[in-house]
Amino acid sequence: MLEAVVKLLIAPDKFKGSLSAAGVSEALSLGWKSVLPATEISFAPMADGGEGFAEALASALVGEWVHFESVDALGRPIRCRFFFVPATQTAVLAMSEASGIERLSSLERDPYRASTFGTGLLLRRAIERGAKRVLLGLGGSATTDGGIGMAAALGYRFLSSEGELLEPLPSNLSRIATIDASDVCALPEIIAACDVKNPLLGVRGTAAIFAPQKGADAEAVRFLEKGLSHLAEIVRRELRCDFSNVPGAGAAGGIGFGLLSFCRAAMEPGFELVSKAVGLEERIAQADLVLTGEGRLDAQTLEGKGPAGIAALARAAGKPVLVFAGSIEESPDLLASFDATFPIIDRPVSLEEAMRDAPAFLHRAAARAARLISNPINP
């Protein structure tokens, strides 16, 4: 029985396409306090490398947002930002800021042209600002280019067998014959925060698993797989390295592979990086109960996603954890990770309505949970 809850920690991930982690936190807090207004609530909005990564770290660091012009995945001018910490000369970036799928409508998704060039401009601007260390969150991308767009923005040149300078687009992956690194800018330490373990190629590779979400049909998936396989071979020959099978190489359209190959980046689980920065373990130890959540709980949740990481820390601290989601897969391993699961949808609705009205659904779900906690016999 948990009716003595005094201190509540709300630490959700985003509800993708609907609410930021901060927005989810607010809705859960309001719903909970509508039933138990005396509860002391603290917040730790989380991210696992995708959208919200920079914001989650910025909430725990002392620095400033830097705004500048970049381009989206289709090369259109946009306004972007990254977080800079002067004391440690650290820049915190999210690739979704420039190359994110949320910047494109469903009709604009183009697997042959979507490029990470804008992410490369983010990196370049951070370097020009004086960053000696870059934390780059991967995820939420509109791209499947193996990171060649990013590399081009940093000074790499991709040439055809005729010596033609190729535009760094997925449509040109199979035409690359030579990689010219003579004009690459000096690179700082780069740590890529990644929430997936997929390799670059194969049945679990980036083209097969993620490209269909970005507008690729079966023919485009085959084309991209062939192009990325060719890129991996050229990188092996030209740069004398092979990261194609490293877990996370397939992250965000293969930019994981690109960062490893072109930038010699290190890769870390995004959740671990963020949780250390915000002192999550210590904050869980101080709470009586933890609430977390994300848009969908499924098998991928257990592969490095925020709610699973939060549940593991809570269990280690002996603290109960409740999870909220738009949909929850009936998986024994998944359900066993949490003390209770709360699907937020409480009536038949379309996906569009569920995403639009997520704050209201979360509010009501949190209120139901609070009533259950305060009176477990008559919720």
47-87 pLDDT, tens per residue? 766 677 888 888 888 999 999 999 999 999 999 999 999 99
Q: Which residue, chain included where needed, has tokens 């535009």?
A: 167
For residue 2, pLDDT beyond 80: no
For residue 3, pLDDT beyond 60: no
Rounded to a whole number of angstroms, the distance between the first and last alpha carbons of the chain is 13
Mean of pLDDT values over 317-341: 88
d(CA 93, CA 77): 18
Amino acid code (one letter) for 375? N
For residue 374, pLDDT beyond 70: yes
The pLDDT assigned to 379 comes to: 44
The pLDDT assigned to 376 comes to: 62
Each residue's pLDDT tens digit, 221-244: 999 999 999 999 999 999 999 999
Task: Report the percentage of the chain scoring pLDDT > 90.
Answer: 72
User: Which SS3 state, helix, strand or coil, does residue 328 take?
Assistant: strand
Each residue's pLDDT tens digit, 147-185: 999 999 999 999 999 999 999 999 999 999 999 999 999
Q: Which of 2-11, 236-245, 331-340 has the largest mean confidence?
A: 236-245
Among 137, 142, 141, 49, residue whose Cα is nearest residue 94: 137
Mean of pLDDT values over 20-34: 93
Region of poorest pLDDT, from 34-38, 194-198, 249-253: 194-198
The pLDDT assigned to 375 comes to: 77
d(CA 192, CA 268): 6
For residue 315, pLDDT beyond 80: yes
The pLDDT assigned to 377 comes to: 52
User: Which SS3 state, helix, strand or coil, does residue 214 take?
Assistant: helix
Query: Domains of the chain, with CATH numbers?
Result: 7-44+279-374 (3.40.50.10350), 53-271 (3.90.1510.10)
Contact 342, 373 (CB under 8 A): no
The pLDDT assigned to 67 comes to: 96
Region of poorest pLDDT, from 29-38, 134-143, 298-307: 298-307
For residue 318, pLDDT beyond 90: yes
d(CA 157, CA 189): 21
Among 338, 321, 333, 328, residue whose Cα is nearest residue 280: 321
d(CA 360, CA 255): 36
In the structure, what pLDDT confidence band is assigned to residue 4 with cuts at 50, 70 and 90? low
Give me the chain's average pLDDT, please: 91
The pLDDT assigned to 321 comes to: 95
- Work out the number of other CB atoms within 10 angstroms of the CB of residue 4: 9
In the structure, what pLDDT confidence band is assigned to residue 1 with cuts at 50, 70 and 90? very low
The pLDDT assigned to 111 comes to: 96
Q: Which of 53-62, 175-184, 189-198, 323-332 has the largest mean confidence?
A: 175-184
For residue 302, pLDDT beyond 80: no
* Token pair of 248 as six digits: 């996370």
Q: In the chain, which residue ranges form alpha helices assigned H by DSSP? A: 21-33, 53-58, 96-99, 117-129, 148-153, 206-209, 218-238, 251-263, 270-278, 280-285, 306-316, 332-335, 351-356, 358-374
Q: Which of 114-118, 280-284, 332-336 has the largest mean confidence?
A: 114-118
The pLDDT assigned to 304 comes to: 62
- Work out the number of other CB atoms within 10 angstroms of the CB of residue 165: 11
Chain centroid to Cα 373, Å, comes to: 32
